[in-house]
Chain A
Amino acid sequence: QSALTQPASVSGSPGQSITISCTGTSSDVGGYNYVSWYQQHPGKAPKLMIYDVSNRPSGVSNRFSGSKSGNTASLTISGLQAEDEADYYCSSYTSSSTQVFGGGTKLTVL
């Protein structure tokens, strides 16, 4: 199972919006509406930010949103804040009843 493809890094200034892409195949991202996104600060456990493509868990800011088109899913963070600086990972359910993560994207808030 190959990892999903994410950009290694993205950056933005406070108040701006950024989008992180996550590209897979028809056997994972494209085949199911089961993409999730996780935020991980250094030395901390990952935190669920988006599930099933575009759903936000209770307590997650509405500045975080998710979408999908074909084999590519996206996480958008609007109104960037300093505390958003972290690593972000996408994940997808697969046709083998397994899960696959992306390689991760480091977000820098300038």
Chain B
Amino acid sequence: EVQLVESGGGLVQPGGSLRLSCAASGFTFSSYWMSWVRQAPGKGLEWVANIKQDGSEKYYVDSVKGRFTISRDNAKNSLYLQMNSLRAEDTAVYYCARGGVGCSSTSCPIPTWFDPWGQGTLVTVSS
């Protein structure tokens, strides 16, 4: 069974840092793009970042560029999101998600959909 389990959320003061983790199982982690998507309380979904299967390409939403860093450790089947200079507007449930179709030996397309998703981890930025 494909499974994604996020951890690392919690309460942090404005300007602080937090590192989220996502443990993957049930599929060949090193063959997929991975993503972070967040959802502020009572609000809609917002894509945050993508990372290619080998970490060579990363993309971010403008609002987190320079503050958040997506990374992965394929040996540990794990995805990470380092969040620095946190703001109140970063308060959200953060989901990790597998990106689209997997990579082959000749092709590794940017994901055009996300499936499956983890259960999410709540990050609250408040003093």
Contact = CB atoms under 8 A, between A and B. Distances in A.
Interface residues of B, number: 24
A15 B50 CA distance: 39
B115 interface: yes
Interface in B100-127: 100, 110-120
Interface of B is mostly: strand
Contacts of A1: 61-62
Q: Which of A47, A51, A102 has the most CB of B within 10 A?
A: A51
Interface in A1-48: 1, 3, 32, 34, 36, 38, 40, 45-48
Interface residues of A, number: 26
29 contacts: A3-B46, A34-B113, A36-B112, A45-B117, A46-B114, A47-B116, A48-B113, A48-B114, A48-B115, A51-B100, A51-B113, A52-B113, A57-B115, A89-B44, A89-B45, A91-B45, A91-B47, A97-B110, A98-B50, A98-B60, A99-B50, A99-B111, A99-B114, A100-B47, A101-B37, A101-B44, A101-B45, A101-B46, A102-B44
